[in-house]
Structure formats: structure tokens, C-alpha cells
Amino acid sequence: MMQKFLPLGDIPSLLQRYASGALSPVQVVEAIHAEIQNDPDHIWIATLSLESLRSYAHKVEAQGMAALPLYGVPFAVKDNIDLAGIPTTAACPAFAYTPSRSATVVQRLIDAGAIPIGKTNLDQFATGLNGTRSPYGACRNAFNPEYISGGSSSGSAVAVAKGQVCFSLGTDTAGSGRVPAAFNNLIGYKPTKGWLSAHGMVPACRSLDTVSIFSFTAADAAHIMTISTAYDAADIYSRERQGHGFNFGVASHFRFGIPRQQQLKFFGNRDSERLFNEAAARMQALGGEAIEIDFEPFLEAARRLYEGPWVAERYAAIQSFFELHSDQIVAPVREVIATAKRYSAADTFNGIYQLRSIKQQADQTWANIDCLLTPTAGTIYSIQAMQQDPIRLNTNLGYYTNFMNLLDYTAIAVPAGFQNDGLPFGITLVAPAHQDEPLLHLAQRLQQAYLLPLGATGIALPQNTPFPATRSGQVRIAVCGAHLSGLPLNDQLTSRQGRLVTSTTTSPDYRLYALPGKPPQRPGLIRVNKNEQGVAIEVEVWELSVRELGSFVANIPSPLGIGTITLANSETVQGFLCEYYAIDNAKDISHFGGWRNYLRQLDNL
């Protein structure tokens, strides 16, 4: 009877079942606890007792749904992130310690009503992208147990893919929060460094690490991000979120980069190549303009990850433990970290200088594109193959991921179909720091275009899931007259770095008037009452930064002003409206459907 609750799906679906009374948090945690006692895929390192899970659930139920945005939502925690009272091992038993407090990000989620189920398996000390480097067993792929799960956040991904939890926390230094997502048909969101506090996390490379999120949908990832991000003085790399620029994720036209053909690598996997080409075509179908870019600066940055400063930083993270207990560290991880001793302080600074130069080159790419599209990984390997050739094959997995945190970019891995053998394939969307919201919006649109099931659960992707409200620093504004593209006042938008999001119409309850006065005439948009006949009027929706909005609005002459306009898709945005008194002597031009058509009629007179 318990099994009917599992596998779990996306967060809104679970919350709907709670709201209807069909389920309770206590019932859900009891079902999960029963399910995960048998763990052939080596997902979990430690799980909470049934008594502890019930205690969390009872506390949530006592507070009620209205007070908790993640009411009773179960989640998993990678075992290099602290959960109070549960040992943190980083997949090394000899290293284990039991924290008295949870990591900042974990505590924020618990405070929002989420219920931690336990700690998940990982490549030891978060060093690896494959999921086989753990004394707790090689974590198995959710679709085919003979294949790797991806790592280092292996258990976190598979726990979600199998529907044992609704979301999970991983970490991402070189791709650990993205590669497992691609291999298990999930969203893998690597936020801008510093958005999620790393306080209470065992570091791999402290200057590069970020907590990451695995979820079924981009909307879920955005919801979790909104709840869990906050500046944390306890984390020296924490930083405030900044508003993003143009929200290309919702635009009808945007530009995306793809590496030159000769720079793409699929390591002999023709399925991956085919699926990547299909993903590029889907991006174009969403309004994207594909622009070929030189990927070499990104690759050059990636090659630095296991050289000089950043290998030394892995050593610094566990230096005292490594010196005393290196024999307790699994061979591939020990071999990587041991190379740190060959580098001098001068090597470290020279490496930092070289990376700064590489970043200057890579950042020039963003002048021509809004985001970058790559495979998340060029191919996938069996567990046996990975264990036979652990260093070279792991390096292949990082071809498209290793540069990300070195260059301070944000990224989201998105499911993008299946190989002929049934294994998942994923792509990654990349943008500069603080462009997280546009990426998440675009990821949501891609998911809706693919309509792939959730993870390995077989549950259909919910359609038309609303995107959670976030702090963007941008305002969308609808224009209907001389501010339209190509018309005389459009430069008031473009000179303020405004970007066109979409061309659409209002909802069908507006009327448009040509206001009296000397040419050039001005349009007046009015929303009519329920008992009046309205029409849909052509508008363009532009995006403008909040700091530019004031000077733009200051130029608007009476009787026009800014109000709330409803669009054809029922979305509301700010836009030009006219005071009602001004239409007394105005000409009703609603039948033209918009200002452009009216102007064309005047030209033909």
C-alpha cells in the first residue's frame, strides 16, 4: 500500500496531493523509508531513522502548508554537506565527523518545510565525474545499472531519478552537478558561484565550489533557488544576487553559441552527436539564432583545472588528513591530489594570471551571444570501462564542464532525449554569472518542447507549470505606439539597453484611439468594461533594467501613463495606458488591430 506513493514526481504535484488530503508528509516519509532499505544501486551512505523522519513530518504538519513553501517535500543531501546529527563522510569513512549544525543551505530548506531523507553517495572528496570512486560502492545509473551514474554527486542524482525524493543537493566544482543530471534524465542546476552558501560543505576547491540542485523540472530548480539563496557572512565566497540583463529565456528571439564543428567531441558516440544536433534545432525552433563560436578559450580554461593552483587547492582542502591517512583515500583520488606537491607558489600565481588572460578572451564571446549550448558530456561509459581506465575516461567526461567555475559562469543541464540503447543524453546551457533566471526560463521552455518523462520514473512531464517569481532586476514593459520597433521613439528603449522579448497582442478587451493633436499623433490604449466590446491590440514586450525605468517613464507625456496590461496569454506586464478622459475627442482605431496598421492606412491616403 505504501508503494502507491512512489515514485515521487515534481514539487507542485506533491503539494497538490497534500492540499487535497490524498497524502500527508508522515505517509510519504514512511513510504520512502520502506523503499530505500534495499539499496542495490549504492545511492545512500546514511539515511535518517523512521523515528527521525516522522518527527520532521509531524513538525511540518503542525505548522501547515500556508507557512511552508516546501511543505513536506523530501530531499537528499550529498554526503559532503552537513546535516545535523548525521555523519559527514565525503565518502571516506576515516574522515567522518558528526556536525552539530546543518549547512546553511540545508537549514534554509528545512526551515521552508523540506524533509531531509539522508546523505547520498559520491566520488570521494568530490573528486571525479563518474560515480565509481567510493568505498560505499559504485553508484549505478538509474536506467541501466551496468553504466555509470555520473559524479561526483552520484547518489543525489539517482535518488531523484528513481523518485525516492523530489529534489536533492549536490556540489559542483568541475561538472559534478551536471554530468549526473545528464546521465539520469534530470535538471542539474549549477548556480552562480556564491549564490548558495557553501558554509557547512567539505570543500574540493574552495574558490570554485558551489552547491548545486538536482530536480525533475527547471521550475522546481528555480523554486528551490529562490528559497535557498541568501548572502551568508559565514561563507567567505558568498555574494549577493545581482539582477540579470536581457531575459533571453522568455524572448521570441535570442542568440546562442555552439562550438565550431571541429571543436565538438563525442568520443565515438554517434547517438550523442545526433542528439546534440537535434537540441540545436530545437533551440532554433524556440526562436534561437545559432552562432558558431571559438570554443578554444573555454577548453584552455578547462585544462587548467588539474594543473597548478587548483590541484593544490584540492590538497589544501584535506591537507592534514591526507598527510596522515592517504592510505584511506581511493586510488584515483589519491593520485590526483598527490600531484599537488609538485607545484610551487610561483606556479600557483602564474596559473592564476594565465586564467585571467584566458577569461578575458572567453568573455568576449558574450558580446555576440546570449547563452552557450554544449553537450553536458560527449558520451557515457559502463562502470567496467570506467574502472579499467579511470583517469582518461573521467577527463573525457569533463570536456564540456571543467571550465565553468574557473570562468565564473552559471549553467543548467537539461534532458535532451535518449540514445538508441535507452540511456539519457543531456545538453547544458551556459551564461555569465548572475544570468541564472534567463537560463532557467529557457530550460523550462526546452523541457516543454521535449516533453520527456521525469527522470526514470515514467511520470509524464507536467505541462504549463508556472515559473516561480524571482528577483530579476528587470522589468517587462508593453509598448503599442511610437516605441514599437522601427518607429520614431524606439530609440528611447534601445538607448537604455532595452531588448525586445516578444511581439504579441493584448487580451481581447482593449480599445485603441488616435489622440487629438498635431502630427505625429499618439495612440491611447484603454481597457474596456465587461459590457463593452473590446479587441486584441498589437503590442511589443520589451525588457528594461529597473535602474533605467525611471528615466524612461519620466519622458511619458500626459494623458499617457504606465499601468498593468494583460496579454493574450493572460500574463500581466507593465505598459502604456491612457487616461479615460482623453478619448472624448479621440478617433477609435481599434478595428486596425494596432498602431502600425493605422499608420499604413494614413500613408495610403
Active-site annotation holds for 193: no
pLDDT tens sequence across 103-157: 999 999 999 999 999 999 999 999 999 999 999 999 999 999 999 999 999 999 9
Indicate the average pLDDT of the chain.
93
Per-residue confidence (pLDDT) for residue 132, from 0 to 100: 98
Q: What is the pLDDT of residue 353?
A: 94
Reply yes or no on whether 252 is catalytic.
no
Last residue of a domain, one of 384, 417, 450: 450
Whether 549 maps to a domain, the answer reads: yes
pLDDT in tens, 537-583: 999 998 887 778 888 888 888 888 888 899 888 878 889 999 888 88
Cβ pair 273, 388 in contact under 8 A: no
Sign of CA dihedral 330, 336, 342, 344: negative
Q: What count of residues does the chain have?
A: 605
Confidence category of residue 2, pLDDT binned at 50, 70, 90: very low
Three-state SS across 59-97? HHHHHCHHHCCCCCCEEEEECCECECCECECCCCHHHCE
Q: Residue 312: count other Cβ atoms within 10 Å of its Cβ.
A: 23
Per-residue pLDDT of 370-427, as tens digits, reads 999 999 999 999 999 999 999 999 999 999 999 999 999 999 999 999 999 999 999 9
Confidence of residue 532 (pLDDT cuts 50, 70, 90): confident
Task: Report how far apart the first and last C-alpha atoms of the chain are (Å, whole number).
Answer: 76
* Gap between the Cα atoms of 501 and 540, Å rounded: 8
Joined grid coordinates for residue 496 = 537604455
pLDDT, one tens digit per residue, over 9-67 is 999 999 999 999 999 999 999 999 999 999 999 999 999 999 999 999 999 999 999 98
CATH number at residue 37: 3.90.1300.10
CB-based burial of residue 240 (10 Å sphere; 0-12 exposed, 13-18 middle, 19+ buried)?
A: exposed
The single residue of 176, 215, 272, 507 carrying the catalytic annotation is 176
The Cα 547–Cα 415 span in angstroms is 36
Alpha-carbon gap, residue 153 to 401, rounded angstroms: 14
Mean predicted confidence (pLDDT) in 181-202: 98
Is 121 among the domain residues? yes
- State residue 202's pLDDT score: 97
Nearest residue to 185 (alpha-carbon basis) of 438, 525, 422? 422
Residue 139: inside a domain, yes or no? yes
Asked whether the beta carbons of 302 and 398 are under 8 A apart, the reply is yes
The backbone torsions φ and ψ at residue 585, rounded to the nearest 5 degrees and listed phi first, read -110, 20
| Residue 194: predicted pLDDT | 97
Distance CA 126, CA 399 (A): 17
Range of the domain at 286: 2-450
Closest listed residue to residue 95, CA positions, set 310, 342, 386, 333: 333
CA atoms within 13 A on the CB side of 183: 37
pLDDT of residue 1: 39
Is the separation of the CB atoms in 544 and 474 below 8 Å? yes
State pLDDT tens for residues 63-92: 999 989 999 999 999 999 999 999 999 999
- Provide the residue type at 205 as one letter: C
Q: Which of 52, 78, 212, 507 is catalytic?
A: 78
CB atoms within 10 A of CB 145: 14
Rg (CA), the chain: 26
Provide the residue type at 275 as one letter. Answer: L
What total of structural domains would you count in the chain? 2
Residues 408 and 509 placed together within one structural domain of the fold: no
413 shares its domain with 280? yes
d(CA 185, CA 153): 14
Which range, 309-318, 443-452, 479-488, has the best average confidence (pLDDT)?
443-452
Share of the chain above pLDDT 90, in %: 76
* Domain boundary pick from 450, 483, 507: 450
Give the mean model confidence (pLDDT) for residues 474-493: 89
Catalytic member of 52, 149, 152, 228: 152
Q: Is 78 among the catalytic positions?
A: yes
